[in-house]
Amino acid sequence: MRPGHINIRTMKEKFERALEQRQKQRVTDDTRIPSAVLIPLYEKGGEYYIVFIRRTETVKTHKGQISFPGGMRDPGDTTLMHTAVRESREEIGLKKKDIRIIGELDDELTTTSNYIVTPFVGMIPWPYNFQKNINEVAEILEIPVKELLQKGYLKADTESLHGKSIDSYKYFYGGRVIWGATARILKKLLDIISQAGV
């Protein structure tokens, strides 16, 4: 291997193994709406990138927020993974055949709406011809993982859940703020990536 060359295959294997070995924390709450998101990851030039969306100001909830592609479970969805994949197709044109699910993260509760969010991590090819649903998605963001891991991008935050203060986070990137359940999910993903030495 050339000096300084990154073995992306080894990186992927370490990351996938770390996802497999962790114990997922599930949340059961019949008063909340089940939903799912996909965390699309791709590799370019030996680096991982995460795909986010910025929601339009016309969607029903989470107006203008940066999030992962996803939404609430439909009656026709056989699983929450199906929900995440379907929503990703509807929102950014990501085809099922192009997604390889490699893991599932802890369930998260939203604080400004009434959802339980189940996150799935999926590898996708690059380059990709994303197709934005202009009614739901204002912008597609592709952010390098190494940038999000840098000091100064993450700030501790708190949110109110059922009248109690909970630990949360904010990520600042390119003049944008990632917060709420998305930031909490992202923090767990980045912690796994760091601990795996990816």
* Amino acid 21: pLDDT: 84
How many domains in the chain? Answer: 1
Q: Is the pLDDT of residue 3 over 50?
A: no
Which of 176 and 4 is assigned the larger pLDDT?
A: 176
Is 83 a domain residue?
yes
Whether residue 29 lies inside any domain: the answer is yes
In Å, the largest CA–CA distance within the chain is 55
Q: Does 25 reside within a domain?
A: yes
The CATH code of the domain that includes 58 is 3.90.79.10
In angstroms, rounded to a whole number, what is the distance separating the alpha carbons of residues 186 and 81? 18
Q: What is the pLDDT of residue 126?
A: 96
Whole-number percent of the chain with pLDDT over 70: 92
pLDDT at 113: 87
Bigger pLDDT: 11 vs 84:
84
pTM of the model: 0.91
> Could you tell me which of 66, 160, 64, 71 has the C-alpha nearest to residue 112?
160
Q: Residue 91: its pLDDT value, please?
A: 97
The answer to whether position 42 is within a domain reads yes
Instruction: State the pLDDT at residue 116.
Output: 95
For the segment 135-154, the average pLDDT, to the nearest whole number, is 92
Euclidean distance between CA atoms 73 and 82, whole angstroms? 9
Of 55 and 196, more confident: 55
Going 163 to 80 to 8 to 143, the CA torsion angle's sign is negative
Domain membership of residue 3 (yes or no) is no
The tokens for 187 are 């923090």
pLDDT for residue 5: 41
- How far is the C-alpha of 146 from the C-alpha of 6, rounded, in Å? 14
Note down the domain range covering 101. Answer: 8-195
The CB density around residue 191, as the number of other CB atoms within 10 Å, is: 12
Average pLDDT over residues 97-107: 95
Q: What is the mean pLDDT of the chain?
A: 89
pLDDT at 163: 84
Does the residue 107 lie in any domain? yes
The structure tokens listed for 138 are 């204002």
In a domain, 32, yes or no: yes
Residue 59 or 88, more confident: 88
The pLDDT score that the predictor gives to residue 62 is 61
1 part of a folded domain: no
Q: What is the mean pLDDT of residues 27-51?
A: 93
